[in-house]
Each structure stands twice: as structure tokens, then as C-alpha cells.
Amino acid sequence: MKSFAPLVAVVSLVTGTPLMNAAEPSITSKSFGTTTNGKKVTLYTLSNSKGATATISNYGGIVTSLKIPDRNGNFSDIVLGFKTLSEYEAKSPYFGCLVGRYGNRIAAGKFTLDGKTYQLAINNKPNSLHGGLKGFDKVVWEATPLMTKQGPSLKLTYISKDGEEGYPGTLTVTATYTLTNKNELKLVYRAKTDKKTIINLTQHSYFNLAGQGTGDILDHLVTLKADRFTPVDKNLIPTGRIASVKGTPFDFRKPTTIGARINEKAEQLKIAKGYDHNWVAAKLSGQLGVVATVEDPKSGRVMEVLTTAPGFQFYTGNFLDGTLTGKGGKIYNFRNGFCIEPQHYPDSPNHKNFPTVVLKPGQTYKNTIIYRFSAK
Ligand code: GLA
């Protein structure tokens, strides 16, 4: 195990008021093995001044573990995942990963830019999903650990070649993960291109605030700051309509458990086997603001989600079916985790009424996501 100790001393001067269980922030690293095509992969563990830890793999930018205290100060790992790299490579349903170039679905894997049509791989019939066959979740990123005033941090960099997975333009991407001393997992994404292209980066952790592998998430209380959502067709592609949540099971403007209405006979719930939709963030796009709050009544853990993105996918683990065994031998059954993926709307390149996902040379793509934890 490698420790990035010299940097730690800098931080101890700036961590502020000492807390109970206060610890020295640190970053350590160890091998996570080698990919099937021979690339070495490292796991980095960020520990903040409150004793919380986030472990990140530079394969796929995957958050493999996130240990957060409950109301009694007991730490549990609250994200689903695997023990080994080979399991992530072989069968991960995007556990904890960095999604790109285009998070979510593109209908028939097709989009047009300046009159030219691009065809992406159809990896989720009949659509392209989460960047294609070898998206950003399956590449090895260059990693730079660094201690910041906010907390321990890991900067990931990847240069995606022009034409990679069918997307135009060489894209230079950075994703900086910081486990702040306020118990926030903060993700800052930046990208630049040398040709006009499309982009939509996000984070795909499956959370269970009671602890990963402890069962379903139906009793979690959810509040979504969204008046509208984008209904989908039978292939989970938005119809283009931006619909009001009022009077539907998609209205989470007041705290409601995930399970309260998930089995209702609403057409949209039937199509997705539960919630797997994009909500339109009520805040003005581009500004950082809270879009969602989730509380687990058992442990008292609370997660707020902040973003600059114009929307977010709320997915309730409807494709988990008990066939995957995760860390600690836990079996992941139906709805044993939920994701909140702040992002642009699915299939935006094919919907003129959705905010643009086009990135031009000279511009910088930006998305910030904060998962902020507390307990009550
Ligand atoms: C996203 C999608 C879901 C599903 C998962 C991965 O959240 O919206 O439909 O594909 O990823 O299983």
C-alpha cells in the first residue's frame, strides 16, 4: 500500500474545527490487478477528517466503496459493487462508474451533426447506452492523487481519440473526485474537443443508504426538486414530451418513499419496471443546486444531490435480479440499490426541444455533481 503522506500535513492546517472521531485526511493506493488486456489498475482510498472513505478505481473511474457514518456514528459501505476487477470487467451493470461519452440512451445509436450522421454501437437493443461497447466506464484513466483544502482528491484524465466508439473529435476529459471534509463526494467533470461533438458525463453509483447488500431501497424517503419529467417509449427513449409530474407517481416534490407508488399500474412505471426516468431539474441550468434528497429511516443517513446539470436520471435498480453477487458475498436482488445520475436528458441529440449537448472546439464542457451526506 502506498501512502501520499507528505501532502497530508498541508491539509491538517486547514481542516477547521476538530470533530469527534476527527482523523488526519489521507490518500492511500494499492493494486487492483490487471485488465484482461494487460493494463495495471490502481485503487485509491480517500479518507477525510471525519473518517469517511471513498475508494476509486482508475479503471472506469469506479467508486468501489463509500463508507459513511449513520446517526450513531457507525460506518457502512453504502454503494453496491464487486470485490475484483475481473468482475467489473465481465459483468458490471455500470456499478459506480464514470459514464461517457454519452450517459444514457441514444435512439438507434444515431445522431446527426452538421448534416453528417454518426452511427454508434447498439449495445442495449435497439439503442446505444452509456457510451457504447467500451465506454468511459471500461477504460483505464491516468490518476493523480492530490490533497486539497476541501479534502483528499483524485484527478482522472483520459484522452478519447477521434472516432472512438463512433463519436467525432478527440476529447480530453478530466474528472476530479474529492471526498470533502464535510462528508461530500464531489465530482467535477471537464472536457474539451478538437471537433464538434456531443457529450454527457455522469456518475453511476448504486446507493443503499442502509448499507450495501442489506435488501431493497423501497423504504428510502425521496424528495426530487422537479416539476417535470421526460416520459419514455417502450425502448426507454424519451418521447420528446416534457410532462408535469402533478398527479402522477413521478411527483416527489414532497418526501415520499420509493415504494409508495412504484408498483402502481401507471404505463410509465410498467415500461421501466419501476423508476428509470429523467427528471427536469427545477433550478436554473448551469447553477449548482440541490436536486434531490434521499433519507434512510433505519440508519438515519441522508444524501443530498447537487448538480449543475439540467436533469437527472432516477433509477431504482429494476434490472437487478439476484444474479449478481457483490462485495462481502451480498446478492443484489430487484431494487436493492438506486442511482441518481445528474446529466443531460437521454437522447438529447435527437430532440430539438431538449438543452443542447453539442460541444464545439474552444468550449469547455462542465458538469459538477455533489453527493452530500449527513445523518438524522
Ligand atoms: C441507467 C439506465 C438504466 C439501466 C442502468 C444500467 O441508469 O437508465 O435503464 O440501463 O443504467 O443497468
The 10s digit of each residue's pLDDT in 266-324 is: 999 999 999 999 999 987 668 999 999 999 999 999 999 999 999 999 999 999 999 99
The 10s digit of each residue's pLDDT in 200-227 is: 999 999 999 999 999 999 999 999 999 9
Point out the catalytic residue in the list 184, 295, 341, 344.
Answer: 341
Give the integer Cα–Cα distance in Å for 240 and 351.
Answer: 6
Indicate the helix (H) or strand (E) that contains 364: none
Give me the mean pLDDT over the 70-90 stretch: 98
Q: Which residues of 347-372 are buried (b: 16+ CB within 10 A; e: fewer)?
A: bbbbbeebeebbbeeeeebebbbbbb
Where residue 21 falls among pLDDT bands split at 50, 70, 90?
low
Residue 23 pLDDT: 87
The 10s digit of each residue's pLDDT in 140-179 is: 999 999 999 999 999 999 999 999 999 999 999 999 999 9
130 is catalytic: no
The 10s digit of each residue's pLDDT in 244-255 is: 999 999 999 999
Ligand 1, residues 268, 276, 318: which to mutate, most atoms within 8 A of Cβ? 276
Q: Are 63 and 79 in contact (CB under 8 A)?
A: yes
Query: Which of the residue ranges 3-17, 41-55, 260-274 would you say has the lowest mean pLDDT?
Result: 3-17
Question: Is the pLDDT score of 1 beyond 90?
Answer: no
CA 250 from centre of chain = 21
Ligand 1, residues 97, 229, 339: which to mutate, most atoms within 8 A of Cβ? 339
For 213, the grid coordinates are 447488500
The binding-site residues of ligand 1, defined as CB within 6 angstroms of any ligand atom, are: 93-94, 104, 129, 236, 276, 313, 315, 319, 339, 341
Give the integer Cα–Cα distance in Å for 19 and 343.
Answer: 34
Question: Is the pLDDT score of 341 beyond 90?
Answer: yes
The 10s digit of each residue's pLDDT in 35-45 is: 999 999 999 99
